[in-house]
């Protein structure tokens, strides 16, 4: 791995490990932001559905839970990035 040595060789930062960590963090953050944006619109539509048809609560909950898979996919991608970089 490529390393950069800072002051008096006390601290070595591996650039590839830092880039992998940033990539893993951005995968999780991207999934979380995407989920938040989708759940904002789906949640308000679900509340509107429940106001008109209270018997449709299961469908409203299902549509609210489906976007959570984006966060799970982001977490899996982050794990794969960290495994590929040898950090886990």
pLDDT digits (tens, 9 = 90+) for 57-68: 999 999 989 999
Share of the chain above pLDDT 70, in %: 85
- Exposed e or buried b per residue across 68-79, where buried means at least 16 C-beta atoms within 10 angstroms of its C-beta: eebbebbeebbe
* CATH code of the domain in which 63 resides: 1.20.20.10
12 pLDDT band, cuts 50/70/90, is: low
Could you list the residue range(s) of the whole structural domain that residue 73 is in?
3-84
Total structural domains in the chain? 1
Instruction: Please write the tens of the pLDDT for every residue from 24-46.
Output: 999 999 999 999 999 999 999 99
CA 68 vs CA 18, 34, 43, 53, 72: distances in Å: 27, 9, 12, 24, 7
């Amino acid at each position: 791995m490529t390393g950069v040595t800072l002051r008096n060789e006390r601290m070595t930062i591996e650039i590839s490990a830092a880039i992998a960590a940033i990539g893993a963090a951005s995968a999780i953050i991207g999934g979380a932001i995407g989920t938040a944006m989708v759940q904002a619109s789906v949640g308000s539509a679900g509340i509107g559905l429940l106001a008109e048809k209270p018997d449709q609560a299961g469908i409203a909950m299902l549509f609210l839970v489906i976007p959570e898979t984006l966060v799970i996919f982001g977490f899996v991608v982050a794990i794969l990035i960290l495994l590929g970089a040898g950090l886990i």
